[in-house]
């Protein structure tokens, strides 16, 4: 049973507290299968980003466990966490967070270089990835020479270049107009189908959420709704 | 080595700060290199003016409890076999009172073999009238310093009465006058070895043997070998500890001052690095999200400061050496120091290497603090809220 799930979350609680304690996640349990394309929705402050950061091991929980591919991330060393982030996880944020001093190609190469891939090989893989997101002609441009949508596509290429089994996106289209946002959605969907990667996307966009396989509603740090959308092919 | 790739890109991207940091460190290093060249140059000049001309490299003395070295001819043969020895001079030294026309003066008589003594002490360079060679030609002759000649009011050809308690009084004809520009000129008189032997009523003995090597730095080595022959010998550093002491103190305080300047210049690098860590907080968070470990984040920023230090060091050493060489080759047309009209800069490769390494290390250490700040950022907080 457990092998079926790439992500298993049990009794996950996250309390932020400087004086006043805020329970951002309250005893959350959640299982996610390999290849799922899911959306997390909920009002502002409901804990969506907090949950995503926990799955991405960017933060540590107050209590509870998270198993990625059966391994408890809360027990990992710093080194293991970095390796897991590099090989198993891909991050897309609302703002692209590209490295400003590097061009598009170098940005996409970076996760490969961090993984120890040779420069020449990294360049090949990264340019293929950039072509896949439709930016084959913008490889030498730096982030400040690209539009918001283009940068976001570079960020997607970067998140996916190491073929991570899990891709998490915190409002990946939050900064884009609906046309650009549809394009990004189509792109992610296509990549999900082609490589069977797991996508977990936080979104405020009902239209977009409706096109995913599964939608989770968070309210006050609790999952109050978990529905299949019937978009499976 | 993606860490180096990132570090180098950071440096080339903020080009202005990079150039400024390298220049600041470079100027400090230039000063250090330049002044080191002056120090070494003047030290060298001083050594060649004193140790190489006025001092024996090694002094050999009688065995303990003895007044004289008895079998000195055998000893000289043995010393001659030691590697690097280029001059050996046996001396017989005795006190005497010189008297000329009612004026008298206590002096030290040094009996020498002229050729041998010249090979160790270059006495012939100091002669201003007459010659040392005449000591060997006419018995009972003497060469006196110009100050002594003035005191006694003697000239070449005059005859001085020499006497001392328990010595055989004798007459000495002045055959030469020397000037060594030292206080010796008033008290030291040279005669032949046999003249002093007759005066002291001894034969086949000397009191001291002076030795010169091909390099003053080998003096210690040579003196140790002579020690093994059974006679106490000491190098010039032991006989003149004050020279070394003075130079050492001066050199050290100089190096400390300039080392501090480099450290201060490196503080500039620390502060630009701190600024860059603040600026790049989000970027650091994103690097962590991509799988860069804390250790590697640390490495990136330490590399940045080390590279700045290395560049500053290389630039400074090059500028300092170039400036020293230029100033050293310049003829000032007047005497900068007694007898020389150019500044004796000496640029040594080992100084350059040590200075570059020092600068590199200082900056590496300076980079650790901002780098560790960067590495301790929490990924979520660094990336921040969108
Ligand atoms: N670092 C923090 N320190 C203190 N409180 C925090 C911190 N991060 C989040 N919170 C709190 O935790 C709760 C959940 O925040 P979270 O960012 O997960 O919300 P969200 O669902 O992503 O909201 P939004 O849709 O506005 O992005 C909020 O009440 C927030 O104020
Ligand atoms: Mg959020």
CATH number reported for the structural domain that contains residue A145 in this entry: 3.40.50.300
Q: Tell which phi-psi region holds residue B101, choosing left (phi > 0), alpha (psi between -120 and 50) or beta.
A: left
pLDDT above 70 for B190: yes
Name the residue of chain A whose CA is nearest to B383's CA: A97
Number of the ligand 1 atom closest to the C-alpha atom of A51: 18
pLDDT score at A1: 44
Tell me the two tokens of residue B261: 């300047």
Atom number, ligand 1, closest to the C-alpha of residue B386: 27
A160, part of any domain: yes
Residues with CB under 5 A from ligand 2 (ion): A 49
Q: What is the ipTM of this complex?
A: 0.91
Is A30 a domain residue?
no
The per-residue pLDDT for range B115-170, each reduced to its tens digit, is 999 988 888 888 999 999 999 888 899 999 999 999 999 999 999 999 999 889 99
Residue A201 is assigned to a structural domain of this protein: yes
pLDDT value, residue A202: 94
Distances (CA, A) of B25 to A45, A129, B14, B16: 50, 43, 17, 14
Instruction: Count contacts between A and B (CB, < 8 Å).
Output: 74
Residue A184: inside a domain? yes
Domain that holds residue A106: 37-49+78-228
Counting the structural domains of chain A, the total is 1
Q: Is A177 within the bounds of a domain?
A: yes
DSSP string over A146-162: S-HHHHHHHHHHHHHTT
Most confident range, picked from B29-33, B107-111, B259-263: B107-111
User: What pLDDT score does A232 carry?
Assistant: 52
B259 vs B291 pLDDT, higher one:
B291
Residue whose pair of structure tokens reads 């002044």 in the numeric block: B35
Q: What is the pLDDT of residues A19-75, one digit of tens each?
A: 788 999 999 999 999 999 999 999 999 999 999 999 999 999 999 999 999 899 989
pLDDT-based confidence at residue B40 (cuts at 50, 70, 90): confident
Q: In chain A, which residues have pLDDT < 70?
A: 1-3, 231-233
From the number of C-beta atoms within 10 Å of its C-beta (0-12, 13-18, 19+), residue A225 rates as: exposed
Query: Please, is B98 exposed, middle or buried when counting C-beta atoms within 10 Å of its C-beta (0-12, 13-18, 19+)?
Result: buried
Which residues of B, range 263-282, sit inside 8 Å of A by Cβ?
282
Does the residue A163 lie in any domain?
yes
User: Minimal Cα–Cα distance from B374 to chain A, Å?
Assistant: 15
3-state helix, strand, coil in chain B (%, to 5): 60, 20, 25
Supply the mean pLDDT for chain B. 88
B56 Cβ contact partners less than 8 Å away, ≥ 6 residues apart: B89, B120, B121, B210, B211, B212, B236
> Is the entire prediction scored with pTM above 0.80?
no
Name the nearest CA neighbour of B280 among A154, A100, A95, A186. A100
Beta-carbon contacts of residue B87 (< 8 Å; ≥ 6 apart): B116, B119, B120, B210, B211, B212
Instruction: State the pLDDT confidence band at B333, using cuts at 50, 70 and 90.
Output: low
Q: Is the CB of A24 under 6 A from ligand 1?
A: yes
- Of the candidates A59, A83, A99, which has its C-beta nearest B380's C-beta? A59
Residue whose tokens read 């120890």: A116
What is the pLDDT, as a whole number, of residue B385? 55
Q: How many residues does chain B have?
A: 386
Q: What average pLDDT does the segment B311-326 reach?
A: 93
The answer as to whether A149 is a domain residue is yes
Q: Is B15 on the interface with A (CB under 8 A)?
A: no
Residue A65 inside a domain? The answer is no
Confidence of residue B205 (pLDDT cuts 50, 70, 90): very high
Percent of chain B with pLDDT over 70: 96
């Amino acid at each position: 049973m457990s092998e079926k799930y790439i992500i298993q979350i049990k009794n996950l609680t996250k309390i932020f507290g400087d004086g006043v304690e805020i329970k951002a996640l309250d005893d959350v349990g959640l299982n996610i299968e390999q290849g799922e394309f899911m959306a997390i929705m909920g009002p502002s402050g409901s804990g969506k980003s907090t949950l995503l950061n926990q799955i991405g091991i960017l933060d540590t929980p107050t209590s509870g466990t998270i198993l990625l591919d059966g391994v408890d991330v809360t027990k990992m060393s710093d080194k293991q966490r970095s390796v897991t982030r590099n090989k198993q996880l891909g991050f897309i944020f609302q703002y692209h967070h590209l490295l400003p001093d590097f061009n598009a190609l170098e940005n996409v190469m970076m996760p490969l270089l961090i993984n120890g891939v040779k420069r020449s090989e990294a360049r090949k893989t990264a340019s293929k990835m950039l072509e896949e997101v439709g930016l084959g002609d913008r490889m030498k441009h730096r982030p400040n020479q690209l539009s918001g949508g283009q940068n976001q596509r570079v960020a997607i290429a970067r998140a996916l270049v190491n073929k991570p089994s899990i891709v998490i996106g915190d409002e990946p289209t939050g900064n884009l107009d609906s046309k650009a946002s549809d394009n990004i959605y189509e792109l992610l969907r296509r990549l999900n189908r082609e490589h069977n990667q797991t996508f977990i996307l936080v979104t405020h966009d009902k239209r977009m959420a409706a096109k995913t396989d599964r939608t989770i509603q968070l309210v006050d740090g609790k999952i109050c709704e978990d529905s299949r959308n019937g978009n499976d092919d | 080595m993606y860490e180096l790739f990132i570090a180098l890109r950071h440096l080339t991207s903020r080009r202005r700060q990079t150039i400024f940091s390298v220049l600041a460190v470079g100027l400090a290093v230039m000063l250090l290199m330049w002044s080191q060249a002056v120090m070494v140059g003047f030290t060298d000049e001083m050594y060649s003016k004193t140790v190489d001309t006025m001092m024996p490299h090694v002094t050999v003395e009688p065995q303990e409890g003895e007044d004289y070295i008895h079998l000195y001819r055998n000893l000289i043969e043995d010393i001659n076999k030691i590697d690097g020895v280029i001059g050996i001079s046996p001396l017989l030294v005795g006190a005497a009172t010189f008297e000329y026309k009612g004026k008298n003066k206590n002096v030290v008589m040094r009996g020498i073999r002229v050729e041998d003594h010249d090979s160790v002490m270059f006495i012939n360079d100091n002669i201003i009238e007459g010659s040392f060679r005449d000591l060997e030609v006419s018995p009972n002759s003497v060469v006196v310093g110009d100050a002594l000649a003035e005191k006694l009011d003697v000239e070449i050809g005059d005859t001085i009465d020499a006497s001392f308690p328990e010595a055989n009084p004798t007459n000495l004809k002045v055959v030469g006058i020397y000037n060594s520009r030292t206080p010796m000129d008033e008290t030291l008189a040279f005669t032949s070895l046999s003249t002093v032997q007759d005066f002291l009523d001894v034969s086949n003995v000397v009191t001291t043997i002076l030795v010169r090597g091909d390099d003053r730095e080998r003096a210690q080595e040579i003196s140790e070998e002579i020690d093994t022959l059974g006679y106490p010998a000491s190098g010039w550093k032991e006989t003149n500890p004050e020279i070394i002491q003075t130079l050492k103190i001066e050199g050290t305080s100089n190096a400390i001052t300039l080392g501090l300047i480099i450290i201060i210049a490196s503080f500039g690098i620390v502060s630009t690095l701190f600024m860059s860590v603040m600026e790049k907080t989000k970027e650091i968070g994103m690097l962590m999200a991509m799988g860069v470990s804390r250790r590697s984040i640390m490495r990136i920023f330490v590399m940045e400061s080390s590279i700045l230090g290395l560049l500053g060091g290389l630039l400074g050493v090059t500028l300092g050496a170039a400036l020293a060489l230029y100033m050293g080759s310049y003829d000032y047309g007047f005497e900068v120091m007694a007898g020389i009209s150019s500044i004796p800069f000496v640029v040594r490769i080992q100084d350059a290497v040590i200075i570059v390494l020092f600068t590199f290390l200082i900056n590496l250490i300076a980079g650790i603090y901002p780098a560790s700040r960067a590495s301790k950022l929490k990924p979520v907080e660094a990336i921040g809220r969108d």
